[in-house]
Structure 1
Amino acid sequence: MEGDIAEMGKFIGAGLATMGLGGAGIGVGHIAGNFLAGALRNPSAAPGQMANLFVGIAFAEALGIFSFLIALLLMFAV
C-alpha cells in the first residue's frame, strides 16, 4: 500500500512537470508571431533579426526540454 502511494506521487509529479512543455509551445508561438508581425511592418529589417528569432526559439525550447527531463527523472529515478 505504501509503495503504491509513492508511485502515484511520482506519476502526478511527472504529469505536473510536463506542463512546462505546453508553456514552451506557447512561448515559441509568441516569439514567432511577434517576429512575423514585425517583419510584415518592416520587411527590410527582418533579415537582420533572424538570429534573434532563432536564439529566442532555442531558449524557449530549452525550457521545454528541461521540464521533460524533470518529468522523466521523476518517473524513472529510484
Structure 2
Amino acid sequence: MARFFSTILLLLALALVAEVSGSTNGGPYQLTSAEGSVSIQECPQKCDYRCSATKHREPCLKYCNICCQKCLCVPSGTYGHKEECPCYNNMKSSQGNPKCP
C-alpha cells in the first residue's frame, strides 16, 4: 500500500514538473513573471497566450499589450496569477476597475 502511494506521489510530481516546464507559443513560459522580465518585443506573444481563452479577445489583447509595455510583465496562464506582476495587477481603469486582463 505504501508503494502505491509513493508511486502516485511520484506521478503527480512529474506531472507538475511537465506543466511548469512546458512551452507556449514556441518558447518557455515562466511560472512566475517578475516586472521587467518581458521585453517590449515579447509583449504581443505573451498577450496572445494570456488572451487565448477569452471570448473578448480584441479588448483583452489591447489592454494586455498596454499593461505589458508599461510593466514589462504578463502574469502566467490565461487567467489570474496577477500577484506575479504588482504593476500589472494595480493598474486601474478610470472607473476604478482592473485595467489589465
TM-score by length of 1: 0.35
Which structure shows the higher helix fraction?
Answer: 1
Higher relative contact order (CA 8 A, sep 6+): 1
Larger Rg: 1
TM-score by length of 2: 0.29
